[in-house]
Amino acid sequence: MKILVTGSSGLIGSALLPFLSAQDHQVLRLVRGAPKEGEARWNPAEGFIEQDKLDGIDAAVHLAGESIADGRWTTAKKARILNSRVKGTHLLAETLAKLDHKPSVLLSASAVGFYGNRGAASLDESSSAGSGFLAEVSRQWEESTGPAAADIRVVKLRFGMVLSPVGGALKQMLPPFKMGVGGAIGNGRQYWSWIALDDVVGVIHHLMASESIQGPVNVASPNPITNCQFTKTLGRVLRRPTIVPVPAFAIRLLFGEMADELLLASARAEPKKLVASGYQFLHPHLEGALRQLFGR
């Protein structure tokens, strides 16, 4: 297949590209800078995209968007988070819909933040949207795929916390844990939906071929756990104590609004569609995933 990928230099994209190449797929990267061989240029803020280079692609994987975990959420930062997702997704969806040879599927990133802070409630793909900034961003993000939906199978990838020691939330957690001062965040009862990076890549490839699946898909382990359980498991794998909890007020002082939306919020997302489709998780349990990631 010829597969278009946006956000190819990010955490997921950097793992997905070599996997697709190893499967003998041809990858076309959509980039913002001057394009090289195997690349096409776009600028979502300006509504520009090299449409002629996209004709003939068989699938599209859209992962691009401003990082939500990089820096405090100022008004300007929140605007970039929202606009990078909504404008970029709408431009891509609209462009794909205009192609003479349309791709069979658009796999577009979203997040379990769609559900907001929902406590211990079990959330599958039919659950309603929550409230808060991330829930609103995710809702608009998913709606922006609309122009492609009439003629292209659209899958909305509601990612849980993607685990990798080289990026994302886990990388940021490691320093205090390695120093022996890691601990539960707040009361530790908030559910964290997580997934190993290897499974993210596997799920994307699985969904490309699963022609009956469309709409939202929870891309998360079938075993979401509380922050307290996550903390204890990470400490056990790293052989470090986890006896220093971080009070909620301290997290809010450090991270502002992001603390309540990312670290203290609870979303117990269940991958109902993936399980029903027969996807076999490489790392269904957190301890096994972490031991594989750290060679322990």
Q: Quick one: what percent of the chain has pLDDT higher than 70?
A: 100
CA-only gyration radius of the chain, Å: 19
In tens, the pLDDT along 84-120 reads 999 999 999 999 999 999 999 999 999 999 999 999 9
Confidence of residue 230 (pLDDT cuts 50, 70, 90): very high
Question: E strands within 117-224?
Answer: 122-123, 153-159, 161-163, 191-192, 194-196, 215-219
As a whole number of angstroms, the distance between CA 75 and CA 146 comes to: 27
138, exposed or middle or buried, with CB in 10 Å at 0-12, 13-18, 19+?
Answer: buried
Task: Tell me the mean pLDDT in the region 231-246.
Answer: 91
For residue 252, how many other CB atoms are within 10 A of its CB?
16
Query: According to the model, what pLDDT value does residue 193 have?
Result: 97
Tell me if 250 is assigned to some domain: no
Tell me if 134 is assigned to some domain: yes
Tell me if 56 is assigned to some domain: yes
Among residues 47, 274, 277, 247, the alpha carbon closest in space to that of 159 is found at 274
Among residues 264, 259, 269, 122, the alpha carbon closest in space to that of 195 is found at 269
Tell me if 92 is assigned to some domain: yes
Query: According to the model, what pLDDT value does residue 167 have?
Result: 85
CATH number reported for the structural domain that contains residue 115 in this entry: 3.40.50.720
As a whole number of angstroms, the distance between CA 288 and CA 293 comes to: 9
Tell me if 208 is assigned to some domain: yes
As a whole number of angstroms, the distance between CA 200 and CA 42 comes to: 25
Tell me if 210 is assigned to some domain: yes
Domain count, the chain: 1
> Regarding predicted confidence, which is higher, 147 or 169?
147
Tell me if 184 is assigned to some domain: no
Question: E strands within 47-116?
Answer: 48-49, 59-62, 105-111
Q: At 87, which helix (H) or strand (E)?
A: helix 75-98
Tell me if 103 is assigned to some domain: yes
Range(s) of the domain holding residue 128: 2-163+193-220+268-282
In tens, the pLDDT along 65-85 reads 998 988 889 999 999 999 999
